[in-house]
Structures are given as structure tokens and as C-alpha cells.
Copies of this chain bind each other. A is one copy, B any other.
């Protein structure tokens, strides 16, 4: 009988363990180990714990900007680096580009002259590098680029430059029942090329700027072509619009780093019913480990949103003070 009883004991303990394991596991472990203790970390944890209790699970929607919020964006947006590389590799089929702006400046590596061509020039570069192919072909080209391209300062693949503290925040919120979305001015097909692997955000939860698409059957096979026309710009006032188009409900948590995120932060936190809401701005003030820029930077301008943060109660996170580490691995410039 003794052996019989101990078998039951094992079964009982196993059963209790299996029942309690999912509840007991997280206790006592710091969910945000790369965040220094302080008021910002405390406010994030308080928000998440209140949200878990007070907000129905389907309404726990968190939106994250990408460039400058989840990964770096200097010295130029990484997608723009992709566009320039793509133009260079297409140039052999376009001899006329050597004498034609904005391509001439791209090919001679004169970024300043390229920028002088203005929005029209930049859009031409984006269109030429992001269209004229099927969505499948684009995925393949992007995959290859992500593998081979290197950041000009850190000399590592661009996907090594994601922010470790934000990866922890994404995972922490998902653990609290949040659905995490990317809502970015960046191209949606570009971000989908790495968002699942890098951030754990599946393609259907990535919202971004996009070009028009066209479906067609060629030789009995279906394709979707990427056209050179802009369809939607998911930036500034476009961000709440993108959220409404794609998600259809107001988020309760928004994370950004620049004035491009101002309206998304407003839509998430201002006059938005009762219950916990959070708005957070990542401030790039760490020239030693990353980059330092804000009000006067042409990329990632942080001005109006910073001014509004105080009265709105948005957290302003100092990369220098609040983050123990920036990237998963240390990179020396």
C-alpha cells in the first residue's frame, strides 16, 4: 500500500503543480531587468498591473512606434538605407539615372544633395526601390538585405539595433494580456520583414505607410504587385486614422519618441473614458551608447510632443538614465 500511496502523492503534487504553474512562475522575477529602478519603471509596472485587473482582455491594446522607439533611426531611417542600397543595385539597368536627380545623388552617395531634392525626390527614391515587383519578390529582396547590410556606425546588421528594454516591455505587456501593435510611419511591408522575429509582433499587427497594391492572375497564377503610388501615410494625424482603420478600437497604451507620435499619444490618453491609460516617449539623450537628438533633429524631431508630455502625464524616458542597456548586445561605434 505504501508504494500505492506514494504514487498518489506524486500524482497529486504533479496535478497541483500543473494547475498553479502558470500563476506562480512570474512571481518575484523582475519583468523589466534592463530598466533602472525609478519613477518611470514604477509607473509602467503600476499601469500594467492595474490594466490587467481593470481592462477587459480584448481592450488591452498597446501601440508602439517603430523607428526611434523599438530600434534606432540614425544617421538615417534604416528603411531609407534599404532604399538607397536598392537604387544602387538597380542602377545597372538604368544608365539614365547617372544624369537624373534624385538618382544621380543617390549613386554618387551625396545624401545632402539628395535631401535638397525635397519630398518629391525622396518619394521618387522610395517608389523606385519599393515597387515594380510582387509582394513575394519584395520579401525576398528585403530578407537578403537584412542579412547582408551593415549599419554605417555600429557595423552590425540593422536588426541588432533593437532596444532591449523595449523588447522586455513588449513581452511584459503581452504577458499581461495585451495585444501589441506596431503603428509606424515606416513602410508596412518593410517592417513585416522582421517584426515577428525581432519583436514577436505578427504581420497582422503591423500598421504602417503603404503603397497601392494590385492583384492579378498571370499564366494562371495569382500575384500581388506593388505599385509606385502612395496609398496611406501612417504618420502624425495619420496614426490615429491607421489605428481606427486597422484595429478599430482605441488603444490604452501608446509608446513613441517623436512629434510623429503626438496624435497617437493624444488618441490613446486624452478624454478616453475611465481606467488606466499610459503614454510614453523615449528620449534619445545618450550620445555615448546610441545617439542624442531631439528638438532640432530632422529625423525623429521631439518638440511639440515633449512640450505636451507634462500636462498630459506622459512618461518621458531618458535612455541614459532609465536604461541599463540599449541593445541586446553591446556595439562599439
Contacts and interface: CB of A to CB of B under 8 A. Distances in A.
Nearest to A206: B248
Given A215-B241, A266-B222, A248 B189 contact: yes
Interface string A152-188: 0000000000000000000000000001010000001
A78 B19 CA distance: 46
Contact of A248 (B203, B245, B249): B203
A222 B270 CA distance: 7
Contacts of A11: 12, 15-16
Q: How many copies does the complex hold?
A: 2
Interface in A241-292: 241, 244-249, 263, 266-267, 270-271
A52 to B, nearest CB: 18
A25 interface: no
A155 to B, nearest CB: 31
A13 B8 CA distance: 9
Interface in A180-237: 181, 188-189, 192, 196, 202-206, 210, 213-217, 220-222, 224, 231, 237
A248 B18 contact: no
A260 to B, nearest CB: 13
Nearest to A61: B204
Contact of A15 (B16, B196, B217, B247): B16
A241 B222 contact: no
Contacts of A202: 58
Contacts of A238: 215
A17 B15 CA distance: 8
A215 B240 contact: yes
A138 to B, nearest CB: 11
Contact of A12 (B12, B188, B239, B267): B12
Size bracket of the A interface: 35 or more
Contacts of A192: 248
Contacts of A246: 204, 246
Q: Is the interface of A mostly helix, strand, loop or mixed?
A: helix
A131 interface: no
Contact of A222 (B58, B220, B267): B267
Contact of A249 (B203, B239, B249): B203
A221 B271 contact: yes
A306 B81 CA distance: 47
Contacts of A8: 5, 8-9, 12
Nearest to A238: B215
Given A9-B8, A241-B214, A222 B14 contact: no
A79 interface: no
16 contacts: A8-B8, A8-B12, A12-B15, A13-B15, A18-B19, A19-B19, A58-B196, A203-B247, A204-B204, A204-B205, A204-B247, A213-B241, A214-B237, A215-B238, A220-B270, A222-B270
Given A5-B8, A215-B267, 8 more contacts: A15-B17, A58-B196, A135-B244, A203-B248, A213-B241, A215-B241, A220-B270, A222-B240
